[in-house]
Each structure stands twice: as C-alpha cells, then as structure tokens.
Structure 1
Amino acid sequence: MMPFCHGGEALACRTWASSMSRERTLQCPYENLQQLAEQSPLYEPAHMSTTMTGGGRTFDLHPLDSLLPHEEVIPSNLDTRLNKLVSRGFYKPILVDSVTKVILDGHHKWKAAKLLGLSRVPAIRIDYLNSSEISVDVWPDCGISSITKRDVVDMGLSESLYAPKTSRHSMTFKIPKLSIPLEFLRD
C-alpha cells in the first residue's frame, strides 16, 4: 500500500501501487518522503504538512528524537505496538504539544518506533496549554488524585517520567487513520 492511504482511498491506492512495475518502483526519483507525499492523491500542502481528512487535522513527520515523553510505557503494551507497527506500518499519528514537543498521546508507538530504528514519526501538533479541544485527567488507581496540562508539560520537560497510564487525555476530535510503511520513516 502507498503511504498516506487511509479510509476509502485504500483500495484506489492499492490498485495504483500494484499497477507500478518493480523496475519503476526501484528507480523511484524521489529522494525524500516529502517529495513522495507530494505525489499522493491525498496530498495538500499546508506549511510542509500533509492534510488528512477526518476532522481537518494535519500531521507532520517529526524527528523521533525531538519528541519528549511524559510517562513510561507498559512492556506488554509495547510488545503489542511493536507487532502492530511491523505488520501494519504507522497507522495513526501520535499527538504532541506544538510548543514543547511533549508527547500527549502515543507513548507506546513512540517507544516502539525507537526500538524499530525509525528516524521520524507522523505527529499531530496541538497548542496543548491553550486548546479547549483537549483535556487531561488521571486514570483510576494511577497513584495521584489530579493532574493538569501544566503538570504534563513540566514532566515532559523534566528528567523524570510519570508511571504508565497516569494521564488520560480526551479530545473533541478524532485522530485520523493513515498507513505509512516503516521504510519511509527511516533515514
């Protein structure tokens, strides 16, 4: 399947991809993912982002090492994410604060991407502290009674991490589905 295919466009993308000869694929003139994205029928330029349908959300390809976690991961959930990424490619972008690059949702995908040697990941940016589209609460029995957006950002900027499943984010929008083969996320 071609990168950036999702929803109803998946069949059209598979048909287009299968019509390409192996020789043509191997002689691909595109030197980077942005050039490849620009050839997708789903591409719309938006400040070097790719606009996805589904709530009008955009995602960018962020260097993996530029993103900051604020909580640890659960090893068994990490194994599940690793297997899903290997079998499906990157299927949903992670959610990050646009100002600090603190990861809000997608810690297991981020950690799995690191273990798989990816250099970049698709991420939706949101002005976390100023947005009414996202709120935070704690998971039951997480060990703390309350949490604020500022607490999440401060933890992400510190050298410490919350325990797994401490913060529970709720959004008024859906994170769009996508399909990006892992080879396009490596250097």
Structure 2
Amino acid sequence: MTGPDCLLLPVRLLRPTEETILARVREVVAMILAEQAWTQPICIEESVHALLDGHHRLAAARELGLARVPVQVFDYDEVELLSWRPEVAPTRAEVLARAMSGRLYPHKTTRHVFPPRPARPVPLASLTDRIGSRERASRAGLTMRALTRASNAGPALVPSRRHTSRSE
C-alpha cells in the first residue's frame, strides 16, 4: 500500500489506457498555464504504472514538455472499476494489458472511483528540466522567468474528497 502523498514520476514511465481528445488536451494545457501549477495528480496503478485517471493531464504534460508529473499510486484492489459505456465491461486484467500493449480504449471508457487522498499543488517550474525546456516553454507560451517564478511558490496541502475518475 502506498502513502497518501503525491510522487513526482517521469512522464515516460506512465502508461495510458485510453485515447484523448485534442480539444480537451488544449483546455487542460490552458488551465495548467493559468494556474502556473499542477493542481490534480494523475492516478496510476502501482505495478505497471497504468493510468487510471488523468489521460488528458498526461497528454497536456507531454504537450508542455514536462519531465515529470505528480501522481498518486494506488493498489488496484482499493480502486473501484466501472465503465462509462454500457456496452463495455472492462476488467482490471484487461486495463493493465491495454496499458502494457498500447492498445487504448476509446476516451471515457473506464471509470475509476478512488479512496480520498490529499492533493498537493505543484509549481509548474518544478516539473520541467531546464535543459531543452526553453523551446517547449516558448511553444506553450511560457517564459523561463515565469517557470522560475512559479517554482518559488511552495506546494500547499489541499483537502481531497472522494474522487470519481473522468479520465482527464
């Protein structure tokens, strides 16, 4: 069992299980830039790092060129698995297999319900690597000064409520 704190994991280690919608990814990028912080961790399964919630956030992180993202790691046995689509009844084994194979479900297929955990906003600058991030930051409409300024704000603990996945 993992602790309630968020971990910062490299983006490359996370395995999506669902497709994303480009327009939603752009909305999430805009929200992250407006806040200059990552406010909602991505939820992953502990054994293979399969995404259970946060597909659009992961795509936004990739678009922004972030090196790492805040995640909360769950034992899959403590997470309820449902489906947004009545014609699909995913199993945990199938979700993990899709994460490993890269054969993604359509967006909004799986629905996960998590036990409550605290979330910590993380300054955007602490999620980038300085090397190579200037070009990606520019493309995303950021300046390195804004990234550095954001990193000086320390993370604060924010209360969490029972979270129902919408695979953002």
Quick check: TM above 0.5? Answer: yes
- Corresponding position of 1:24: none
- Corresponding position of 2:124: 182
| Structure 2 residue 76 is matched with structure 1 residue 134 | no
Distance 1:72 1:60, change over 3 A: same
TM-score, structure 1 normalization: 0.64
List alignment gaps of at least 5 residues for structure 2.
130-168
SS at match of 2:85: coil
Distance 1:140 1:159, change over 3 A: closer
Matched letter for residue 123 of structure 2: P
Check whether the contact 1:77–1:108 (CA below 8 A) recurs between aligned residues: yes
Name the count of aligned residue pairs.
127
Instruction: String of CA shifts for 1:123-143, please: whole Å, max 9, x gaps.
Output: 111121xx2x211111135xx
- Corresponding position of 1:169: 112
| Structure 2 residue 69 is matched with structure 1 residue 121 | yes
Superposition CA RMSD, Å: 1.7
Alignment partners' CA distance in 2, 1:140 and 1:161: 15
Check whether the contact 1:62–1:122 (CA below 8 A) recurs between aligned residues: yes
Instruction: String of CA shifts for 1:124-164, please: whole Å, max 9, x gaps.
Output: 11121xx2x211111135xx431111111110001311100
Check whether the contact 1:121–1:185 (CA below 8 A) recurs between aligned residues: yes
SS at match of 1:58: coil
SS at match of 2:122: coil
TM-score, structure 2 normalization: 0.70
Q: Give the ranges of 4+ consecutive aligned residues of structure 1 lying more than 4 Å apart after TM superposition.
A: none
SS at match of 1:163: coil
| Structure 2 residue 7 is matched with structure 1 residue 60 | yes
Matched letter for residue 17 of structure 2: H
Percent of aligned pairs sharing the same letter: 32
Check whether the contact 1:135–1:149 (CA below 8 A) recurs between aligned residues: no
